[in-house]
Structure formats: structure tokens, C-alpha cells
Structure 1
């Protein structure tokens, strides 16, 4: 027995060698590779693919990819978060290192080819496409059996598709398809890859041809249903609605045999195409679909489809309502959320509700991951920010004035109500709550908050019948223990008193608020008129200003803006506004504009030309001409975006002629006249720069001399000619 064991041990050690080309060595390493390391590697790969499939990120609003490659919240440019692909790669590498039998340039272990194939696949799914390509190329150079070779060629071209080498991949795949037998198990893999290549090149017709071939030969029902849904999407893209409906109906009939996501999308799409004029049948079907408890995780898709159907029917309120319901769905994906925010932002923008537009743009920016798109949204938000700021300022001032007009008890009640609402909403927004604390009485902070509010509002009442009737309970002792745990944070009395003290009571303070509010009305009137061409909203804000005790400057400006709107509309109010300006403000610049015979000939395009002419003069350093022409044209630029631009140009020209002091004063005037304009912000930057230069007391090593002459001095022209001649001679 001992001899037999010893003999077996010698044979085992002998068989372990990868340098000997014997039957025993080949079979040992082949079996050890196939049923041990390599087997575990392929198992890890399949587990990783299943995890990928269960947690994949899908954008059903675009044509799906033939094969998913990314799970939720993953960055496509980085490696996969699924560890199984790394395990599969390690097993493949271990097989190659431990069991490769390359003797005299020939690989004697047939399983090594499969190990390289596994290595390439694992790297492919891990989204490391260049290393994957390296593995496939190495395998193809070391030709093994026909089956592994063919599969490796297809996977190499799949990798080329991921690297955007679409034309090269298609050329090689189409060449393979000519020689592939109809009975080959790689038919579906090859044809689906060709279809993806044509999709990448936007060649839908060719993509459908090869996709149909892939569907006919694909036996895996999950993969088949995915390919079939993509087929329906392509028919929809080509406008072949009847073919699309047939495909979708076939998918719906498979019911629970296919993934729920594919089934529900097929159902939604098919119902949405049942739209008949004057019928709400499809809306009823979708509502029934949303009410089914099994579709809880897909409500956001259903509500969004309902919203779009109602938009087609011009039911705006239902459109907005269903978009909001979609946003409130617990399982909403980022793509649907972003599309809903985009649609709501567009809707409110068209309907001139710029505050809500800004809110939805803010939400959209929060969920946008791509920097290019995010910057684009930020620029879009910036375009309406001035409107939002002014609208919010008016609301805030209205609230302050309203509260200041209340008596003390009403003010106290107002702030108490606001504080309790704020505290209750804090519960919804607090992310630190435990799962069992969703109910009010399970949250100690809210319970304490409620107790303190009760004590502050009702006093220390006993726990007895008729507790809210003081006359009946005044002789009963209270047994309530006052919890002082949160007194520092949520004492209603102290907070309310502090808020009431902060309310402006002085008439001068209130008057200043009204002036600020009127400035916002005027600013909004001009923005709606010039930037958005919305004369209705512009008139509304300007008329609100006129009813709100404006200053004389604000009043004449508003009247002039209303007059110019009336001219655009050609309505009957223009004479009324014209007479008001001429009678009440006969010496104003606005009156002189109206009296000017050329006034009606000036359009926005002319205003742009006027500014551009002055800008050219400025660049030519003809500063006196800039000042003269600019001041003459200012009356014709009032109310337009070019007014403050021209003022800044004039201020800069005065700075070049009269020096820093004059420059600073004129820039300060621009800040005061148009505080919210871009030119005012630019003027403020220049003023800060000038102030910092003075504080630093910089000594310049390079500088220019400035010689001051009277305009009548004949020496100016001679000096100018002398300098020009000198510059020409010393130019090089």
C-alpha cells in the first residue's frame, strides 16, 4: 500500500510539470483548468453579467443599446463596480500562469485559449476595452480550435464598437457573416453586433435587417425580448407604426416570461399609440395601469406618458399635474426626473412664470452630471435670474408691508403659524430620521416641539375633560411636565418676539421699501419689454408701479415705457401716455424725445448701429467724438439694453480725457442708475480696481506721459504729426 501511494505521488508530481509534452501532463492541466480555475472564472463572469442585468441603467427615451454595459450611478469612463468581473479576470490569469503548456511554440493545453477568451470578456465587461482588445488579439494570433477562434473574432469587433471603430468593426463582422453557417450558435451574437454597428452609424434600415436575424436565432428569452423591444423602437423611429404595434403586442403576450421593465414599456408605448380624436380611452388604460400594485416601480414612466398625452390634447393643468406626480414617484430614475424638470421649466418659461422656471432649472442643474450640459443650464438660468430676483424682492417687500400693518396679536399668530409649519416640514426634509420614526410620535424632536407649542399657545393645562375651557379647569392642578430640552432652539415666544422686533415700523423705512419695490417693478417692466418682448407683462408691472406712489423719476420713466409699448401695439393709450409726459414733465428728456420728429424712425436695429458706431470711435481713440455722439444718441436708447452700454462707453471716454476722478464719478452714476445691469457690475469692478491701485501706491516702471493742451492751442496738431512720424520711423 505504501509503495502504491509513493508511486501515485511520483506520477502526480511528474504530471504537474508544464514543460513535458506527455499525455499525462496534457490531460492533468487540461482537466485542472477546465473543472477548477477556469470553471470558477466563468461562473464569476456569469454572476457579474446577472448583477449587471439586474441593476443596469436604461434610457427608454432613446433606442436601447443591444447589450447593457453599465449599472446605476456608474461612470462609463471608469471600471465597473461589479467585483465578479475582477474575479473572473484573476481566474483567467491564474489559469494561464499555472496551466499554460507552450512547448516549441505550440500550446498543448486546449483550455488556455478559453482562458484568454475569458480574460478578454472579463475586461470588456469591466469597461477596460484596450486591455480586452489586447487579450483577444493575442488569442487570435495563437490560433486554437475553430469555435474559440470565431467567438474571439466577434468579441474583438464588439470591443472595436465600444472604442468607436465602427467602420472597421462592421467590415470584419460582415466578412464573418458571409461564411457563418445558419446552424452556428454564434449567429445571434454576430448579427446583433452588426446591428449595433449600424445603429452607431445611424443607419437604421440596415440595423433592422440584422436585428431581425439576431431575434430569430436568439434562444435566451431575456436577451430576445430586449432585442425585440429595440426592433419596435427602430420601427417607431422609421414611422412604421403598424409594424411597431405588432412587435409590441407580441412582447405583451409573453407576460411574465420576459423582464417586467420591457413588458411595462411595451404596454405603455402601445397604449400611447391608441390615441383617437375625441377619445380618452388610452388615458383611462394608463390610469388603470398606474393603479395596479405590481406596477408601483414604474409609475414615473406611466405618469410621464399621461402628461405628454394631455399636452397633445392641450390640457395644460393635467400636463403639469402628471409631470409632478411622475417626479413624486419613489422609484423615479434620473433620466425621467431630468426630462420632467426640463419640460416643466420650458412650460413655465413659455407661460412667463420665470420664478418657477428658475426653480426647475436649479433642480435640473443638481441632477446633471455632464459639465457641458450643466454649464449650459447655468447660462440659461443666468438669463432669467434678474427677473427672478426682482419678482422675489417684490414678494418679500409685500410680505413685510402686510405684516407691519397687522396689530400685535395678529403678528404673533402669523409667526407662530409660520414656525409650526416650518417645524413640520423639517420632518420631511430631515435625512437623519430612522425608519421607525416616520410617525410623529416616534420622533422625539417633533414630540417636544409639539409640547412646547401647546404650552406656549394654551398654557399649562391639566390632562382632564374640558381642558380647553379655562373656567371649568381653573381650580384643577396641572400634572404636565414641561420638557425644556429644546428651549434654546425652538422657544416660540422668544423667536416670535424677535421676529416682531425686526419688522420695520418707522415710516421712513417703509417708504424706502416701497421705493425699492417700485424699482423692481420698473426693472421688470423694462426686462419684459426689451428682452422677452412680452408687452403684456411689461405693461402689468409698469401700471402696478404707477399705482404705488412712485417717485417723479420713476413715474416719468414708466410713462415713457408704456408710451413706447403703445406705439409698438398701435393702441389708443399712446396719446394718453404722451400727453401725461408732455404736460407733467415738459422739461424731461422723455418729452424732448417725443417732440423729436425722427423719434418714430428709430428701431432696435438702429439702436445697435448707434452703439456700434460709438464703439468703433472708441477703439480708434476718438474719445471726444464718442462723448459728443453718445450724449446726443442717449435719448434714443432709453429703455433698451444699449442705454447702459453707451453710458459706460461715455464714462470710459471721460476717464481717458479727464482722468481717474472723473472716471470714478461717472462709473458711480451708472451703478446708481442701473444697479442690476451687467454694465453696473462691470463699473463696480473698475471702481474696486481703481481704489485698490490707490491704496497700494504702485510705482510704475513703464508709463505714458500725458501733456495737457487747450483745444485752441496750435501746437497740438504739430506735436501730433511729430509723434506719428517718429512712430512710423521706429516701428520695427
Structure 2
């Protein structure tokens, strides 16, 4: 009887019920439980991005949902197994009819599991199969709704809308699913960007939404959409409802935050709410968002100083939320851009881009805005820096010394503040660790919490040090120095520990004391004045600033190489602002002082301007073609093309660019020396152009590189010359003496006799070497260690040197390694100093 009921070939009551119950309470049940667990875990792990419109449902994404593949695959396996083993299809007329009412449920489970795995195309096929195959039951309608959702997540909004309209036209579509249909339609409109059309559909969906927690989420999303459409009053009403009634703290918190930008009235009430939130312990990790919201209110009230302070506090409090930090920097960048204070704006835009994700709305626009400021900021900084350097150079020596002294004091005070903050953090860490271990021992080595905290703190300061004596020293040999050597070591360490910005050398470095250096500084200022004039006009349409820098150039540097073109640029600016008198004034200056210049000809014959413009466009095109050839690496052709065309170019700026690309082509063909030669020629031939200014920077980098190489060589030589302490390697005894007072052959014989008398068993060898014109050296070797050579030296002093005082005091023991260095570099005085610190006190 049991075997009979197991058959799927017999369409009998007992068979149908057996397979129905087996699927429902066995395979399907287990698969559905796995699906529900996966869905729940995905909802928990998905973090809402409150800077964007929230998702109605938390379906996760392709990458994050991989964590739930085991549960979802279990759902798929169980569903497929149930279909395979328990499907009961029988022919009714010309159609196959499924008699196991749980089979469509299994197909639906498979479709939903595929959807959560973001296998959207197979999910779509599954839902279509259910819709077209099963003519009875609710599952076909559920599958149709899931089909629409799949279209939405595939961003196939045309098919989503078509299917929704078909469902709406279907008179058999159950009323119990109408609310779901409305909600799915709202999701489709929202995700397709049709916000104004989505709003009334969301309003309708909220009316019947259950449970209340879900309803509050929909209300928050609707408030976001109102806000995006500038319906601030409607948004504020909903935010207030969610802030009061939501049981989800994040929804509640962000509703209060969003009131900062949607409120009506003075805003004082919102400020009070936000200030209360600052005091709430639950909001410690959200302080950055609260200060940001406060800044928005203050900005709306016109209290710019308070807004800036709040934005800066928001950025400083944002430790684990780089996106919020980026938003605060962006707000500050926008504020300073509107002032306009482009230096600060550039810095804040730059900081915002390092913190904001590239997916942030308008990220490319922010980047473009920053790039538009790059050249402007570069030239503002050049003027600021070079003026500062020249000002310091021109100070009387006493005033300069006082200035540097004050700078060092400022640097020290700043460092002291940083140290105090770090010390406070260390003390807090120890206090926290002590509090954590208060139930146990208070002695650090019996308290694991305190010990771990101390270890972390130690590594933070000193790094991961091996367990050994004198662990703070890099050169362990220094512990053997005598008292004087130790004091010198301490003084040396102290001087090395002084931060660079607390030394006079730091502030004197780079100052243009020489005349040629000052000329370069003035050239940089002249070029930057001109470029600022052009950039303010052409990039920012700021004619007053443009006029200021052009006038500043010619008033500060009369008869400068750009005087004519600068007056011409002023002529153009005055023409734009309709200042006829000033326009004619600069026109006359060009014609009178530079009658043969192209700018005078343009002013005398305005018709030439169109011709020059066309010629200029053609010249630019030729340069671009040559630059393209340069990028392809055809440097010989670049050189020949530049030589052939450059004489036809009248514009000084473009002529300089031709020279610059010619120099780089030469450099690529013939090496760095050739590059440097032609770069210097480009600078000399094109003084006052931007290209010449760029060349100065390149040449300065060459000089810096040469300095670095020289310092590296000096450092390498210093290391090569430096003596090292090694007690256990072979040692020699050395004596250096005056060869005018002493005959080397006689001294050598005496030392051989001494060795035979006192060290006959040691098999010592002695050898004399010419050391210098007036000095010879005798070396006695080998001794197996420092202690053995020291013993020999003591005996030698007592029994040999007392009878040969003319030999002098240049006698010492030396390791084999140090002897090779001494012989190569002849650094006798340095070795004697090393010897006294490391050997003399023990011998």
C-alpha cells in the first residue's frame, strides 16, 4: 500500500495527498526555511546609504549576497529535488496538468533564490515559466509580481511598465495582491528616476502599508523624494512623523538630521534638537553627521562663521565615516569657492576627493572643479612663496634671525601641543586598560588587559623590538664607550632628534641670497602675475581680479618682457567692462612704446585680429600634430618639424612651447645633458612665458637630484669609512712614527727582538709600510682577538715604548676590518677617536 502511494504515475487521491504532504512538510519546508534565513541575513548585513534614496526592500547585491550562497543553494536543491521526485503531470485533453499543488511553490522558491543570488536572467525565466504554465492558484500571480521586480533590478523598465499595465488590465488579478502591485509600481518609478510620478504612487502604497515599521520606512523614502523635488514642507512633515514614531533608530536619527535642510521658519527649534542629540551618549559615533546638519542650518541662517566651525568639527569627528568627512570638506570647498577664496577651495576639494567614493553623485564634477583651480592655485602659491622668500632675504640680518627664531618657537609650541595630545591618549589608554583589569591584579605583569595595552603602546612608539639589553640603541657598540664618549653620544642623539623645522638650517634652505636666484624668483612672480590675469578672465570670468594682476605686473616690473602683451590684455579687459578712457590709455602705451610689435599692429588695424586668430588656430593645430608625433616617440621628426615651423610662430607663449618640446626631443635622443642644455636655452630665449617658468621648475628638480646624489654618495662614503667594533675577529698592533727621527729598519729589528723575547710562541710577523712622506707604519700580526692584542699592547708599552720615546703616541690595536679601512682612507685621527672610545679604557 505504501509503495503504491509513492508512485507519481497514478492520479489517485492517496497518491496526490502523499506527494503534496511530502513536498510541503519535507523538501519545500526545509528549502523555504533556508531561503528565509538567507533573506533575513541579507537584510541585516545591508547597510542603508542615507545619502541616497533608500531601497524599499533590502535585497543586498551580487557580491555581498555570496555569503548566503550556501543557504540559497540549499533552497534551489530542495526545490529542484521536490519537482523531480514529486511532480504529478497528467494529460487533460492536449495539455499537461500538474496535480501536485506544491510544485508551483517549489518553482517560485527556485525563482526567488535565484533572484537573491542576482542570477536575474535565470530568475526571470523561472517566473515566466510559472506565469505561463500554471493556470490556477496564487503562485502564478506572485510569480508575475516577482517577474516585474526582476525586470526592475535588470533596469529593464520598459518591460516592467508593460507587465504592470497588463496586470492592471487583468480583471482576474486578486485584490489581495493589489497593495503589492502598487508598491512594486512605486519601486519601478523610483528606480527609473521618475520621482515626480513615483510620489503619488508611494502615497497610495503608504495608506495600506503594514507593519508599522515598514510603513515608517516608506514614509522616510517618500520624505526623501519630496526633498529631492524641493517640496521641503511636505518632507519636513514626514521626517517629523518618522523621528517621533519610528522604532528604527537610524531612521529616527536621520529624520532629525534631514530636518536641518527641510525645516520652515527660523531653524532655532532644529538647532535645539541637534544640540540635544550632541549630548546623547547613543550618538557618539554620529557626531560628524550632527555637526554637518548643524552647519547646514547655520548656513541657511546666514551665520557663516558658525557654519564653517561646524563643518570643520564634522570633518574632525569623522573617524570611521570617510564619506561624511568628504561631504564636510566638499561643503567647505563650495563655501570658499563662492567667496571666492580659491586657495582654500582647492585644498578642501582635494581633501573631499580623497574621502568620497567615486560613486558619489557629481564626483566627476567635483574633480573637474578642482582641476579648474589647479593652475590658478599653482600661480597664487608661486607668488606667495617667492614674495615670502624675497622678503626674508631683504630683511636686516638681525631681523631675519629674530624671524627664524620665532618660527622655531612656533614649531616647538605646535610640537608640544601634539605631544601633549599624544600623552593624553597614552594616559587614557592606560587608564582604560586599568579599568578593564580592575577586577584582577593592578600590577601590569599580572593583568593581561594592562599588559596588552602597554605592548600596543610600546610598539606604537618604538616598533617591534627584539628582547635584548640596550634595545633603544641601534648601534650596540656604543654601550662600550667611556664616559666622555657616552656624553658625546647623548649630545649627538639629541641633535639628531631635533625636528627639521626646529632648526635654523630649515628656514635658510632655499632662500635666494644670490643675485641670479633673486632674478629667477622675480621671473616666476612675473609669469604668475600674467597667468593669473589670463586664468581669472578666461576660466572664471573674474575681470576685476584679471585687471588687478595685469596692472600689478606692469606697475611692479616696468619694462618687463611681457609689458606689451600685458597692456594688450588690459585693453581687452577694459573693452569688456566698457571703460573707454582706460582702454585708450593702454592702447596708446602699446603703440608709443612698442610700435613694431604685433600687439601695436593689432590695435592700429583691428581687422588683423581675425586673421591673427585664424593663424593662431592653425599654429595650435601644427603644435598638436608635432606633439602627437612626440608621443609616438619619433623624436628626430619632432626636431626637424620644430626647426621648420617655429620661425612662422609669432605668439611668444606658443613659440616657447615649440622650444620646450624640441628640448625634450633632444633629451630623449641624446640624454640628460643634452636635455638640460636645451632646457636652459629655452628658459633664456623665452623669459616671461609659462613654458620658461615650467623649465625653471624642471631645472630646479635637476639641481635637487644632483644634491641628493651628492649627499647619498657622501653618506655612502661616510658609512664605508666608519669603523666598526668587532672584538672576536683577528686584530693587529700598529705603530706610526716619524721616519726622519727613526730608521724603519732599526725599529723593525727592535720589534722583532721584542716579539722573540716576550711572544716567541705566538709566531708574530712584523712589517713596515711607507705611510706618508714623513711617516712610516709598522704592523704586528696576527692576534686572534681584541683581548690578545690588548695584552700585547700593554706589554709593549711597559717594555718597549718607555725606551723608545721618539716613536711618539700613534700606537694602537686595530681589527682586521678596520685596518683595511684605515689603510684605504688614511683617517687616522678618526680612528684614534674611535679607539679611545672603544678600546683605550679596557687596555
Between stretches 318-327 and 106-115, larger displacement belongs to: 106-115
Paired position in structure 2 for 1:50: 44
Deviation for aligned residue 1:289: 4.7
Cα distance in 2 between the residues matched to 1:252 and 1:316:
28
Q: CA deviation at 1:153?
A: 1.8
Q: In 1, distance between residues paired with 2:416 and 2:651?
A: 41
How has the CA–CA distance of structure 1 residues 559 and 373 changed in structure 2, closer, same or farther, with 3 Å as cutoff?
A: same
Q: Summarize the alignment of residues 214-233 of structure 1 with structure 2, pairs less than 5 Å apart.
A: 214-233=205-224
Call closer, same or farther: CA 1:28–1:562 in 2, change over 3 Å: closer
1:134 equivalenced with 2:125 (yes/no): yes
Larger RCO (alpha carbons 8 Å, 6+ apart): 2
Pairwise CA distance, 1:160: 0.9
What do the CA deviations read for 1:666-708 (whole angstroms, capped 9, x no partner)?
A: 749989943xx7x85566346645776899xxxxxxxxxxxxx
- For 2:385 and 2:212, the matched residues in 1 are separated by 60
C-alpha distance in 2 between matches for 1:104 and 1:98: 13
* Aligned partner of residue 123 in structure 1, secondary structure: helix
Residue 534 to residue 155, structure 1, CA distance change in 2 (3 Å): same
Match of 1:394 in 2: 383
Specify whether residues 443 and 393 from structure 1 end up closer, same or farther in structure 2 by C-alpha distance, changes over 3 A only. farther
Q: Kindly indicate whether the alpha-carbon contact (under 8 Å) linking 2:564 and 2:599 is maintained by their aligned counterparts in 1.
A: no
1:496 is matched with: 503
1:92 to 56, 72, 75: 75
Q: TM-score, normalised by structure 1?
A: 0.66
- Rounded to whole Å, the distance in 2 between the matches of 1:376 and 1:296 is 33
2:51 — aligned with what? 59
Please tell me whether the aligned partners of residues 229 and 247 of structure 1 are also in contact (alpha carbons under 8 angstroms): yes
Shift of 1:540: 3.1
Q: Deviations over 1:146-201 (max 9, x none)?
A: 233322221111111112222322333344456578872x4443221011223345
Note the alpha carbon deviations across 1:300-336, whole angstroms, 9 max, x for none: 5544444444444444444444443443442786665
The aligned residue for residue 118 of structure 1 is 109
**2-structure distance, mates of 1:374, 1:238:** 21
Map 1:307-706 → 2, pairs under 5 A = 307-330=295-318, 339-366=327-354, 367-370=356-359, 377-404=366-393, 405=395, 407-408=400-401, 410-411=403-404, 414-415=407-408, 417-418=410-411, 421=414, 436=429, 490-492=497-499, 496=503, 499=506, 502-504=509-511, 505-546=513-554, 548-549=556-557, 552-555=560-563, 557-562=565-570, 564-569=572-577, 570=579, 585=593, 589=597, 592=600, 596-598=603-605, 607=609, 609-611=610-612, 613-614=614-615, 645=620, 663-664=642-643, 667=646, 673-674=652-653, 680-681=656-657, 684-685=660-661, 688-689=664-665
Contact in 2 for aligned 1:521/1:541 (Cα 8 Å)? yes
Distance change in 2, residues 1:286/1:579 (3 Å): farther
Counterparts of 2:495 and 2:236 in 1: how far apart (Å)? 65
Separation in structure 2 between the aligned mates of residue 116 and residue 486 of structure 1, nearest angstrom: 77
Which of 178, 185, 189 matches 1:194? 185
Q: Whole-Å Cα distance in 2 between the matches of residues 494 and 381 of structure 1?
A: 30
Match of 2:250 in 1: 261
Counterpart of 1:284 (choices 271, 277, 280) is: 271
Equivalent-residue separation in structure 2 for 1:150 and 1:434 (angstroms): 65
Q: CA deviation at 1:225?
A: 0.8
Deviates more, 1:490-499 or 1:320-329: 490-499
Deviation (angstroms), 1:424: 7.3
**Among residues 248, 258, 264, which one is paired with 1:275 in the alignment?**
264
Deviations 1:84-117 (A, max 9, x none): 5313311112213544324553667655544433
CA RMSD of aligned residues (A): 5.2
* Unpaired runs of at least 5, structure 1: 1-9, 71-75, 450-478, 619-643, 653-658, 696-732
Structure 1 pair 343/19, CA: closer, same or farther in 2 (3 Å)? farther
Counterpart-to-counterpart distance in 2, 1:213 and 1:266: 21
1:581, 1:590 within 8 Å by CA — same for their partners in 2? no
Instruction: Tell me the distance in 1 between the aligned counterparts of 2:309 and 2:272.
Output: 18
1:243 CA drift (Å): 5.0
* Counterpart Cα distance in 2 of 1:426 and 1:664: 60
- 1:361 match: secondary structure: helix
User: Is the 1:448–1:483 contact (alpha carbons within 8 Å) kept by the matching residues of 2?
Assistant: no
For residues 588 and 318 of structure 2, what CA distance do their matches in structure 1 show?
61
Measure the CA separation in 1 of the matches of 2:108 and 2:624.
70
Structure 1 contact 198–206 (Cα < 8 Å) conserved: yes
Aligned-partner Cα distance in 1 for 2:560–2:534: 17
| Distance in 2 (alpha carbons) for counterparts of 1:203 and 1:532 | 35
Distance 1:527 1:102 in 2: 77
Between Structure 1 and Structure 2, how many residues are aligned?
596
Cα 1:371–1:181 shift into 2, 3 Å = closer
Question: Residue 680 and residue 290 in structure 1: after superposition, are their counterparts in 2 closer, same or farther (change >3 A)?
Answer: farther
Aligned residue runs from structure 1 range 102-117, under 5 A: 102-103=86-87, 105=89, 111-117=102-108
Pair 1:33-2:27 in alignment: yes
Question: d(CA) in 2 for partners of 1:580 and 1:162?
Answer: 69
Q: Deviations over 1:250-300 (max 9, x none)?
A: 33331xx43223223433445654433xx4534533543543424445555
- Shift in CA distance, 241/582, structure 1 to aligned 2, threshold 3 Å: closer
The answer for unaligned runs of 5 or more in structure 2 is 91-97, 433-452, 464-485, 628-637, 672-843
Write the deviation string for residues 97-140 of structure 1: whole angstroms up to 9, x where unpaired.
54432455366765554443333323323433223223323444
Give a deviation string over 1:551-608, Cα, whole Å, max 9, x none.
632455545544554454417656765676677x3656388459x554xx67xxx95x
Larger Rg: 2
2:651 and 2:587 mapped to 1: Cα distance?
Answer: 27
Partner Cα distance (1:446, 1:46) in 2: 41
Asked whether the equivalents of residues 298 and 306 of structure 2 are also in contact (C-alpha less than 8 Å), the reply is yes
C-alpha contact (below 8 Å) 2:42/2:59 kept by paired residues: no
Distance 1:666 1:319, change over 3 A: farther
Rounded to whole Å, the distance in 1 between the matches of 2:166 and 2:510 is: 81
Corresponding residue SS for 2:50: coil
Aligned partners of 1:286 and 1:571: how far apart in 2?
A: 57
Question: 1:560, 1:577 within 8 Å by CA — same for their partners in 2?
Answer: yes
CA distance in 1, matches of 2:647, 2:309: 48
